[in-house]
A = this chain, B = another copy of it.
Amino acid sequence: MNALFKALNDPTRRAILERLRNGPATAGAIAEQFQFSAPTISHHLDLLRQAELVTSEKQGQFVVYTLNMTVFDELLGWLYQFKS
């Protein structure tokens, strides 16, 4: 839960998640969308992976990142306790 909120607490990481709504993408393709350096984006992707918001798979020399929506359910569950 901690890693989840931590991962979401950054606009760049949230933008990455929104990007991945359109389908999986390589680290490089993701990085292109932002003005930050590749290492910075790589670090953001690492935090997203720690929170299990994304999964990564190596395909040749590329690393493909995919949105993992499973974790959103956990978050929705936490939120719903407040809706009543």
Q: Does A58 contact B (CB under 8 A)?
A: no
Q: How close is A1's CB to chain B, nearest CB, in angstroms?
A: 8
Question: Which chain B residues lie closer than 8 Å to A83 at the CB level?
Answer: 69, 72, 76
Q: How close is A20's CB to chain B, nearest CB, in angstroms?
A: 9
Q: Does A6 contact B (CB under 8 A)?
A: yes
**Main SS of chain A's interface residues?**
helix
Alpha-carbon gap, A2 to B13, bound state (A): 12
Interface centre among A10, A79, A81 (most CB of B within 10 A): A79
User: Could you write out 26 A-B pairs with CB less than 8 Å apart?
Assistant: A1-B14, A2-B11, A5-B5, A5-B8, A5-B9, A5-B10, A5-B14, A6-B9, A8-B8, A8-B9, A9-B9, A17-B82, A18-B81, A21-B81, A21-B82, A67-B82, A69-B82, A69-B83, A72-B79, A72-B82, A72-B83, A75-B79, A76-B76, A76-B79, A76-B83, A79-B79
